[in-house]
Amino acid sequence: MPNFFYEVHFYLFGLLAIASSIAFVTRKSPVAAALWLVNTMFCLAALYAMLEAHFIGVIQVLVYAGAIMVVFLFVVMLLNLGQPSDLVDIRGKWGRLAAGLLGLALLAQVIVLAGRKLPEPFTPGGGYDPIAVRDLGAVGSVAQPLFNEYLLAFELTSILLLVAIVGAVVIGRRRRVDAR
């Protein structure tokens, strides 16, 4: 049941997420940008927990803020790009104009959509079911559809990860000069 305490924290984490993402886009140093992005992801994890998606919140911290961002920082370290470059990192007039126009268009879409009503749930008995979540737990309620309706997609995901591993190794490998 949303109460005052809940709403205050919801808005707090939402504003923190927006502030850190703006800081992330405007930082010159890639390391500072990456750390602000980690902060955004932590705020989003808190919001997931408040939206009663506890498992997704944990996965967000472990996979996104933990694994993926560490890979990014690792590449920044490997290529020695830590210090902000002397070259101007921001694009010129046209890039900023295009970004501004796109931002305004997206904002207009949000304002138009804000007046619309959500369609009715199209799955019978759809919606968040507190009883099922209580019975199955936070992990089980996600695992139940994942290993039943979406089992094929789940298995295909493992092939995707295998291909990604092989691709990363092949592309990132240093080729010998006399190889060709």
Q: Does 167 interact with other proteins (rule: CB under 8 A)?
A: yes
End-to-end CA distance of the chain: 66
Among 107, 134, 135, 137, binds other proteins (CB under 8 A): 107
Among 8, 103, 134, 137, binds other proteins (CB under 8 A): 103
Binding of other proteins by 135 (CB under 8 A): no
The only residue of 8, 12, 77, 161 in contact with other proteins, by rule CB under 8 A: 161
How far is Cα 44 from Cα 28, in angstroms, rounded to an integer? 23
Least distance from C-beta 180 to other proteins, angstroms? 14
Say how far apart CA 103 and CA 93 lie, in whole Å: 15
The one among 5, 152, 172, 179 contacting other proteins by CB under 8 A: 172
Residues 14-33 interacting with other proteins (rule: CB under 8 A): 14, 17-18, 21-22, 24-25, 30, 33
82 sits near other proteins (criterion: CB under 8 A): no
What's the closest the beta carbon of residue 179 comes to other proteins, in angstroms?
14
**Which single residue is written with the structure tokens 């290993």?**
147
* Binding test (CB under 8 A) with other proteins, winner from 174, 178, 179, 180: 174
Cα 107–Cα 109–Cα 115 angle in degrees, nearest 5 = 110
- CB nearer other proteins, residue 171 or residue 179: 171
Q: Using an 8 Å Cβ cutoff, are 20 and 11 in contact?
A: no
Among 52, 134, 135, 137, contact with other proteins (rule: CB under 8 A): 52
Distant-in-sequence, close-in-space partners of 55: CB < 8 Å, separation ≥ 6: 138, 139, 141, 142
Could you tell me the smallest distance in angstroms from the CB atom of residue 53 to other proteins?
A: 5
Q: Angle at Cα 95 formed by Cα 27 and Cα 29, nearest 5°? A: 15
Contacts of 9 (CB under 8 A, 6+ apart): 46, 50
How many angstroms separate the CA atoms of 91 and 80, rounded? 22
By CB under 8 A, name the one of 39, 50, 58, 61 that touches other proteins: 50
